[in-house]
Structure 1
């Protein structure tokens, strides 16, 4: 299930190199009458970039409609087909309309993948490894970003169509891997139980838990899941409106706010606009620094595999957010004290590296966990679709607005934009303290109970520890009772 994640990270890292290719500009650009050079118009750049997000949102909605009908495997296979056709259309060099359609189809695939893979991980994980699996998910995403930067750097020497076709065409490999993964991975037990295929659900649990198919653990897992789904189905058909009613409203708003703050901390700025920004501030080797940032993001995502369960969601967000905000404050202060100095430029680069090193294992992973973890089995598909559609929209909006804040021809903030990221960082930490509950170590049933009882976020950690102790005691009592009965 890790391969689809790489495709998301890869796409986010390659487009700047493609748009900068001379042959690509010659093919899709217009002639400047005064200079005689060809260039990509702002409209062309905007359409080629933004329509991916349109496709992504459509993919999120489509996955919500189809996921329970065709299964997680069927959804991923559909994504593989859409992904492959989209890449082929972009690589073909056909007129701009074909490239645009390819971008939409690619975005559709990414939307399906970004929605279905987290749901699949939630379906197949336990209370002790949900965060760890999500961290592995993000590890492959960040690896994809590094791969994209590396390939873009390697093909930048070509002046012919190889400068952009190799970069885009490499993604066909990912389309094939997605299709293979969709055919080889077991279907989600939750989907199989909904379809009434209990024998296949047992087989799926047996594979995922590495337990005998007739073992007590597999039998108990299927029984518990069936009871849970029967209770949910007794409430009638599911609808999108249900996501905004009762205790589900708090869960949906939690995911939506997490989607906003994950982006608003400034990460999209550094990865989507960092190269151009470093060039404008006279930083040496801006392309190399962008690659260093991508590598930093990848390397420092790895510790989250341990930290997200050991420290929990809240502590990761609070400590990570505090470090991120501090780096941006120092960057702004040094620039204000000595603008255009070597110290200011060095702090700008160092601040960006430390910011991403703090973001990757905390908000980078914690954000995706909180965007997918708090929901019930009944509404998980719908709430995840809503939140992910919002996430991609916010990512596009922040990327769209940033140049107007920073560029000398517009807001002209320059390095002072660091104060903006400091402010959003502080607000995000305050929000996390008051509104993000600790869900590490809790079963799906415990998560439901936490929200139904309205446990405040600040008390959730103690509540969770108490809940785990009570359940452990009850389990031991049952075991002792069984032993005594046998004796």
Structure 2
């Protein structure tokens, strides 16, 4: 029975309450019937799933802008604040340190006050962090701002894919989930593009804009129905789901599936690390951690954070323009993945992506080894300089087709609702810890040996092919409840 029918029967009046605030972040609504006189008023305030995804996608844009900021600003910040390469490497990596702290808190925050509440909390340190960077006179404010940005990004990186997975219909979940990574690439591209025209202080101020737009947007979208169901807010959960699916849609089957999924789990039951010994918990957690760790061991953060330097070392004179071109290519490739993921499936795209990255990085490694051992004036040096750039571009395309968006989608799909907060925090923490190690070491390793660095990344991508082939399940076309039941 649809929401419209319940209202007509006179039994659906209480279902109006979550949308009196159009899904206000702190709680989806106290009873204020005086503000909403009829079910028609609720229907007029309905918001589609796509609109909700577009609003929360502002968070990943912030995520991407943070990641892309260090590449076009490296030379200017080093010059203006008199930093060494090691000090700037620390600056670049501190966002990952802050993200680790945010990741530790992310699952618990999202479980305690809701998905939208955690996004609200994430937006505030991001704004403060960008302001600190913009007004920095020395490295201390620079580092503090980067840590604050990272903290917010750590929360965003867990919460957004989980929210999207929990509100999306199963036949659209892959494509809508890929919007998370697509938004990250848009943020990176914007940082590269604006970095061509703005100095680093102005660029930091511009970094505030996504979160400034996100905060009011959160007041106009509903809370995750699955989170509401988990918290025992049955009427709010059904009303949220009805708005997301449309008021003429019969949601009874989906409501029953979600109720069955959470029926055996009390929201007051504390999850312990000892519970993770059960296969239905540790196996999906292992898959989630494995994919998110291998995503970073591919070296993508090292390439994205410092690709201007990589292009300079490859002999490309217009390295900043080449960096922006890579960002634009990444957006296009991720958009293609968004279109493909619900058609081809997750596993196939992951295998194609990690295989393509392996071949591309092998090309880059060989190019660096050869050009480092020939005269810089020779034609061979020029040829392999171009080949190294081609390899980097192909690596970014391959990454964007699968290893970029899909690990976050699968993590948000396979974790059981009982452990999603704890396990999601652990998986996100592992991702950001490895991202920190890669970001911190990349410029030092590249200065030591470009060929050796990319050889390591190649080996990790080859292992990713093996990992996906053996252990990663296909989740295409299944509801979250069906996926989680399959691990029992």
Would the TM-score normalized by the shorter structure come out above 0.5? yes
Give the equivalent residue in structure 2 for 1:282: 315
Give the equivalent residue in structure 2 for 1:393: 433
Give the equivalent residue in structure 2 for 1:360: 400
Give the equivalent residue in structure 1 for 2:105: 62
User: Is contact 1:334–1:347 with CA below 8 Å preserved after alignment?
Assistant: yes
TM-score by length of 1: 0.81
- In structure 1, runs of 5+ residues without a counterpart are 30-38, 156-162, 453-487
1:168 aligns with 2:180: no
User: Is contact 2:365–2:450 with CA below 8 Å preserved after alignment?
Assistant: no
TM-score by length of 2: 0.81
Once the two structures are TM-superposed, the CA of residue 43 in structure 1 deviates from its matched residue by 5.9
Give the equivalent residue in structure 2 for 1:224: 257
Q: Secondary structure at the match of 1:81?
A: helix
1:117 aligns with 2:150: no
Once the two structures are TM-superposed, the CA of residue 89 in structure 1 deviates from its matched residue by 2.5
Q: Secondary structure at the match of 2:265?
A: helix
For residues 101 and 414 of structure 1, the distance between their equivalents in structure 2, rounded to whole angstroms, comes to 31
Once the two structures are TM-superposed, the CA of residue 113 in structure 1 deviates from its matched residue by 1.0
Once the two structures are TM-superposed, the CA of residue 7 in structure 1 deviates from its matched residue by 0.3
Q: Deviations over 1:320-368 (max 9, x none)?
A: 2222222233444456567552221121111111221122112112222
For residues 331 and 61 of structure 1, the distance between their equivalents in structure 2, rounded to whole angstroms, comes to 35
Q: Deviations over 1:274-302 (max 9, x none)?
A: 22122223233222221111111111111
Structure 2 CA distance for partners of 1:257 and 1:173, relative to 1, 3 Å: same
Matches within 5 A, 1:375-386: 375-386=415-426
For residues 179 and 363 of structure 2, the distance between their equivalents in structure 1, rounded to whole angstroms, comes to 32
Equivalent pairs counted in the alignment come to: 426
User: Is contact 1:244–1:252 with CA below 8 Å preserved after alignment?
Assistant: no
User: Is contact 1:119–1:381 with CA below 8 Å preserved after alignment?
Assistant: no
Give the equivalent residue in structure 1 for 2:71: 16
Give the equivalent residue in structure 2 for 1:432: 468
For residues 94 and 392 of structure 2, the distance between their equivalents in structure 1, rounded to whole angstroms, comes to 28
Give the equivalent residue in structure 2 for 1:141: 184
Matches within 5 A, 1:21-420: 21=76, 25-26=79-80, 29=81, 39-41=82-84, 44-93=87-136, 96-155=139-198, 163-212=199-248, 216-217=250-251, 219-233=252-266, 236-333=269-366, 339=374, 341=380, 342-407=382-447, 410=448, 413-415=449-451, 417-420=453-456
For residues 306 and 342 of structure 2, the distance between their equivalents in structure 1, rounded to whole angstroms, comes to 32
For residues 368 and 123 of structure 2, the distance between their equivalents in structure 1, rounded to whole angstroms, comes to 47
- In structure 2, runs of 5+ residues without a counterpart are 1-55
Structure 2 CA distance for partners of 1:251 and 1:349, relative to 1, 3 Å: same
User: Is contact 2:355–2:465 with CA below 8 Å preserved after alignment?
Assistant: yes
For residues 273 and 442 of structure 1, the distance between their equivalents in structure 2, rounded to whole angstroms, comes to 39
For residues 143 and 276 of structure 2, the distance between their equivalents in structure 1, rounded to whole angstroms, comes to 33
Of 321-330 and 232-241, more deviation after overlay is shown by 232-241
